[in-house]
Amino acid sequence: MELQSRNSCFGGEQAVYTHASDVCGVDMTFAVYLPPQASSRSVPVLWYLSGLTCTHENAMTKAGLQQHAAVYGLALVFPDTSPRGDSVADDEAYDLGQGAGFYLNATQAPWKPHFQMYDYVVKELRGLLQGALPINDSHGITGHSMGGHGALTIAMRNPTRYGSVSAFSPILNPTQSDWGRKQFSSYLGDDECTWAQHDATVLITENGWHGDILIDQGADDQFIDLLRPQAFAEAAAARRQPCVLRTHANYDHSYFFVASFGEDHVAWHAERLHGMS
């Protein structure tokens, strides 16, 4: 881990690091916020996965989560959304290639050599941080849009690794959306059977989740037809899965929406990760 920047923030520390990723085959950048409580003890971790076109920096500077994490004693981790660099495959479209990793392990050329974001988040980066920072084994995960998709699918596929999960405006049924079908066919190939493990609606139907789930969605979200919250809500109801899916009038898909309800999510995770109400 090579430190790129460090700033005091709400009594804690906001840092940005780079490291050589074996999984992605390039240098990766990520951000970590350590709350003031981390100066005297290890703390739980809330992972925040960002959406299309974002880097580690978007949520770090726009979501306003550090103030709440300082109160509730949670570390925050902001990974990048994809590998980057001249050697990494890309596409002219904003929703494919660099900035659009979809938190999966690509199996198809030209993406396979670098686009291994599932293993990067679930295994490599977690292992790197666990040994280097004052954090404990209690991990929660959240995210926005494509990152909400990543948070939900990663949590449901790894229930023993995560104690809590939530999402802001997540892509909830990508196998039936243009924000999913296009990317899955490129990254994973045309066999749609391989897509199911990356669809939260399919996973909630088949696997469920060991706890409750919090999802916030803006009613005026310009991408709501691509996100398909109604499909997930119907699947969760059919399974009787504990889930709070709140739809907020007048809110859109922006970081203003994320910031407006960020405290609710941090408090939600804190209560489930270390019993703080």
Query: pLDDT (tens digit, 9 = 90+) per residue, 139-162?
Result: 999 999 999 999 999 999 999 999
Indicate the pairing of strand 213-218 with strand 164-168: parallel
Residue 202 vs residues 19, 149, 171, 224: alpha-carbon distances, Å: 34, 12, 12, 18
pTM (predicted TM-score):
0.97
Phi, psi for 272 (deg, rounded to 5): -85, -25
Query: pLDDT (tens digit, 9 = 90+) per residue, 114-132?
Result: 999 999 999 999 999 998 9
Asked about 253 being catalytic, the answer comes back as: yes
pLDDT of residue 30: 98
The one catalytic residue among 82, 138, 145, 166: 145
pLDDT of residue 224: 98
Phi, psi for 160 (deg, rounded to 5): -85, -15
The one catalytic residue among 114, 198, 253, 265: 253
Asked about 145 being catalytic, the answer comes back as: yes
Q: Residue 255 carries which side chain, given as an amino acid letter?
A: Y
Domains of the chain plus CATH, in order, are: 2-274 (3.40.50.1820)
Assign 72 a pLDDT band (cuts: 50, 70, 90): very high
- Any idea which residue has 């990760």 for tokens? 273
Beta bridge pairs of residue 245: 215
Q: What is the DSSP letter of 190?
A: S
The one catalytic residue among 80, 199, 216, 221: 221
Assign 274 a pLDDT band (cuts: 50, 70, 90): confident
Assign 99 a pLDDT band (cuts: 50, 70, 90): very high
Over pLDDT 90: what percentage of the chain?
98
Our CA angle for 14, 18, 20, nearest 5°, is 150
- Record the tokens describing residue 64, joined without a space: 């306003």
Average pLDDT for residues 16-37, to the nearest whole number? 98
- Among 187, 219, 11, which residue's Cα sits nearest to residue 103? 187
Phi-psi region of 266 (alpha: psi -120 to 50; beta: other; left: phi over 0): alpha
Asked about 221 being catalytic, the answer comes back as: yes
